[in-house]
Chain A
Amino acid sequence: MTRDIDCAWAGPWTWVGCLNKSSGKSRQAQAPTIVMFLVQQDTDTGLLFLFRNLTEFLSLGEHSSLNFITQLMESIQAKQGLVGPNDPIQRTQLPYVTGTSVVALKYKDGILMAADMGGSYGSTIRYKSVERIKPIGKHSLLGASGEISDFQELLRNLDELILYDNMWDDGNSLGPKELHSYLTRVMYNRRNKFDPLWNSLVLGGVKNGQKYLGMVSMIGVNFEDSHVATGFGNHLARPILRDEWHENLSYEDGVKLLEKCMRVLLYRDRSAVNKLQIAKITEEGTTISQPYALKTFWGFTAFQNPTAGAEGSW
């Protein structure tokens, strides 16, 4: 049986394919059978998806379907604008509007996560009401630091993922472990294409009584831990968490510990703003608090009069 496959570019990441199924016996006698199909390439994972009635392909038989796929790949590659290794990078590589640290910890009933609401544009604090913690599905919370637009793009991806998950309607739902795995794959594959999503993500959730807290960085480094921090929180909040976190923290103790970390970040991180949200996730569900401000103390006598006894110095 001869097989003729050709593809035409139909849009970004999309091809229209045409398969001419004709048996070799008597081409003239039989009317040629043309099968049209749509091929879409997933932007993140690179997989090819064929959209067509399955029976048309099933009739191809095993041996010839492999042949078919090979010819399909070849015809696509011939049409694809491949980027060579020495071509200039075609996507932007700098973060513009960025969020600062996210701090999260496991407590007795679930996960607590805190992030301030600032979006800095370089050295100015441009946006002061950016929600950097969002609930995903029924079982997880996602907090992000880094480029805000990349975070919003991720939220769209996850929306689609959760939608498809809900459409299965099988009583099962994506839990925090699965989402963490998905995010790791996305971040890692993007960095391999030199087009990273410039974020450090914190994913926390509770499913079937199991608490889960994990982190993914923009290069795809991922791990799971009892307490995590991104950005400046790595240097300022981690020592405090390592010292004072313990199993089975109560809700009040957990919030106090998070506030302690956020207060130190507020004092010592230049891109922090005094407006934060604390999010809680337990088996029952998610709550994200209203934005509020931390109390700060500036009343040291040394600050009031720093050069007492040493006039002329500063």
Chain B
Amino acid sequence: MLAKKGVNLPSFRKTGTTIVGLIFQDGVILGADTRATEGPIVCDKNCEKIHYMAPNIYCCGAGTAADTEAVTDMVSSQLQLHRYHTGRESRVVTALTLLKKHLFNYQGYVQAALVLGGVDCTGPHLHTIYPHGSTDTLPFATMGSGSLAAMAMFESKYKEGLTKDEGIQLVVDAICSGIFNDLGSGSNVDVCVITKGHKEYLRNHLLPNPRTFVNAKGYSFPKKTEVLLTKITPLRERVEVVEGGDAMEE
């Protein structure tokens, strides 16, 4: 009813995004930009899009921010319970199956598009998961609104057997291509490198959009209320607290 009067529902907070992943010689590198948008407004300049799933598995999320957070959080807890149950390191396919089951169940209404990567006992893995529940296994993948710009970088520069530095450089190139050529992506570059038994979460690995014009003199605000007197009275105990009281009655 209000819509007729011109009042629109607030649009969902989306991560109009560029997320990428690639497999290099020792493992997996994931990358993401850090801009979260609410329609045309940037609501978070430096959000985290690389979510923790397990010590050896990370997941980048694009789409509705609440959906990506909730779904990765939920599957992360499920993986933790599974680890306790089995006594083994989690496998990437486990995370994959749990995520796709959930997303398919909700028939695409949970709008989370994910790039899942990790290294487990069977080797490095990289998967993309679409909101309706389909998955792909790929050597390099991009998702989000900036995926075409990032994919252009990958398709022209990717080759097998990249070293860690080459891989990080290519991921940074792809995310920067998304940041500068896509309106839905921006701010900084986050990178996560996962290898066998070791992970490096490089938060804000690159800051290509610094605030350029800052007043060198700094800011001084006019004095407001004058302080006449400062007196500090420490709190005094009024009631004695006895340690080891009676146990709560059942």
Name B177's contact: one of A243, A267, A303, A312 (CB within 8 Å).
A243
B interface with A by C-beta (< 8 Å): 23, 92-93, 96-97, 122-123, 125, 127, 135-139, 148-149, 151-153, 155-156, 160, 173, 177, 180-181
Q: Which residues of chain A come closer than 8 Å to B92, judged between CB atoms?
A: 310
User: In the docked arrangement, what's the CA distance between A238 and B153, Å?
Assistant: 11
Taking a contact as CB atoms under 8 Å apart, the answer to whether B153 and A240 are in contact is yes
A313 at the interface (CB under 8 A from B): yes
Q: Given A236-B152, A240-B153, A240-B156, A310–B177 Cβ distance below 8 Å? A: no
CB distance from B125 to the nearest CB of A (A): 6
Q: Which residues of chain B come closer than 8 Å to A306, judged between CB atoms?
A: 137-138
Q: Which of B93, B137, B139: most chain A CB closer than 10 A?
A: B137
Taking a contact as CB atoms under 8 Å apart, the answer to whether B97 and A313 are in contact is yes
Taking a contact as CB atoms under 8 Å apart, the answer to whether A239 and B122 are in contact is no
User: In the docked arrangement, what's the CA distance between A303 and B93, Å?
Assistant: 18
Q: Given A239-B181, A303-B139, A306-B137, A313–B96 Cβ distance below 8 Å? A: yes
Q: Which residues of chain A come closer than 8 Å to B136, judged between CB atoms?
A: 314
A191 at the interface (CB under 8 A from B): no
User: In the docked arrangement, what's the CA distance between A263 and B153, Å?
Assistant: 12
Taking a contact as CB atoms under 8 Å apart, the answer to whether B160 and A309 are in contact is no
User: In the docked arrangement, what's the CA distance between A142 and B177, Å?
Assistant: 29
Q: Given A302-B137, A310-B92, A263–B160 Cβ distance below 8 Å? A: no
8 A Cβ contacts from A116-163 to B:
none
User: In the docked arrangement, what's the CA distance between A314 and B152, Å?
Assistant: 24
Q: Which residues of chain B come closer than 8 Å to A310, judged between CB atoms?
A: 92-93, 96, 122, 125, 137
- In the complex, which residue of chain B has the Cβ closest to the Cβ of A305? B137
Q: Which residues of chain B come closer than 8 Å to A307, judged between CB atoms?
A: 137
Taking a contact as CB atoms under 8 Å apart, the answer to whether A313 and B93 are in contact is yes
Q: Which residues of chain B come closer than 8 Å to A243, judged between CB atoms?
A: 153, 173, 177
A108 at the interface (CB under 8 A from B): no
8 A Cβ contacts from A263-314 to B:
263-264, 267-268, 300-303, 306-310, 312-314
A-B contact pairs, 25 of them (CB 8 A): A236-B152, A237-B152, A239-B153, A239-B181, A240-B152, A240-B156, A242-B180, A242-B181, A243-B153, A260-B156, A263-B156, A264-B151, A264-B152, A300-B139, A302-B138, A307-B137, A308-B123, A310-B92, A310-B96, A310-B122, A312-B93, A313-B93, A313-B137, A314-B136, A314-B137
Q: Which of A268, A308, A313: most chain B CB closer than 10 A?
A: A313
Name A268's contact: one of B122, B138, B151, B177 (CB within 8 Å).
B151
Q: Which residues of chain A come closer than 8 Å to B135, judged between CB atoms?
A: 313-314
What per-residue 1/0 map shows which CB atoms of A219-243 lie under 8 Å from chain B? 0000000000000100111111011
User: In the docked arrangement, what's the CA distance between A240 and B151, Å?
Assistant: 10
- In the complex, which residue of chain A has the Cβ closest to the Cβ of B155? A264
Q: Which residues of chain A come closer than 8 Å to B123, judged between CB atoms?
A: 308-309
CB distance from A247 to the nearest CB of B (A): 20
Q: Which of A260, A307, A308, A310: most chain B CB closer than 10 A?
A: A310
Q: Which residues of chain B come closer than 8 Å to A309, judged between CB atoms?
A: 122-123, 125
Q: How large is the interface on A (under 10, 10 to 19, 20 to 34, 35 or more residues)?
A: 20 to 34
Name B148's contact: one of A236, A260, A263, A314 (CB within 8 Å).
A236
User: In the docked arrangement, what's the CA distance between A310 and B96, Å?
Assistant: 10
Additional pairs, 11, CB under 8 Å, beyond known A242-B180, A308-B123, A310-B122: A235-B148, A235-B181, A236-B148, A238-B149, A239-B152, A240-B156, A243-B153, A267-B155, A300-B139, A303-B139, A310-B96
Q: Which residues of chain B come closer than 8 Å to A240, judged between CB atoms?
A: 152-153, 156
Q: Which residues of chain B come closer than 8 Å to A300, judged between CB atoms?
A: 139, 160
CB distance from A200 to the nearest CB of B (A): 17
Taking a contact as CB atoms under 8 Å apart, the answer to whether B138 and A238 are in contact is no
Q: Which residues of chain B come closer than 8 Å to A264, judged between CB atoms?
A: 151-152, 155-156
Q: Which residues of chain A come closer than 8 Å to B160, judged between CB atoms?
A: 300-301
Q: Given A308-B123, A309-B122, A302–B23 Cβ distance below 8 Å? A: yes
Q: Which residues of chain B come closer than 8 Å to A239, judged between CB atoms?
A: 149, 152-153, 177, 180-181
- In the complex, which residue of chain B has the Cβ closest to the Cβ of A232? B148
CB distance from A263 to the nearest CB of B (A): 7
- In the complex, which residue of chain B has the Cβ closest to the Cβ of A301? B160
8 A Cβ contacts from A19-42 to B:
none
User: In the docked arrangement, what's the CA distance between A41 and B219, Å?
Assistant: 67
CB distance from B184 to the nearest CB of A (A): 12
User: In the docked arrangement, what's the CA distance between A307 and B92, Å?
Assistant: 12
User: In the docked arrangement, what's the CA distance between A130 and B122, Å?
Assistant: 49
CB distance from B137 to the nearest CB of A (A): 5
- In the complex, which residue of chain A has the Cβ closest to the Cβ of B153? A239
- In the complex, which residue of chain A has the Cβ closest to the Cβ of B97? A313
Q: Which residues of chain A come closer than 8 Å to B93, judged between CB atoms?
A: 310, 312-313
User: In the docked arrangement, what's the CA distance between A303 and B138, Å?
Assistant: 7
CB distance from B91 to the nearest CB of A (A): 8
What per-residue 1/0 map shows which CB atoms of A90-118 lie under 8 Å from chain B? 00000000000000000000000000000
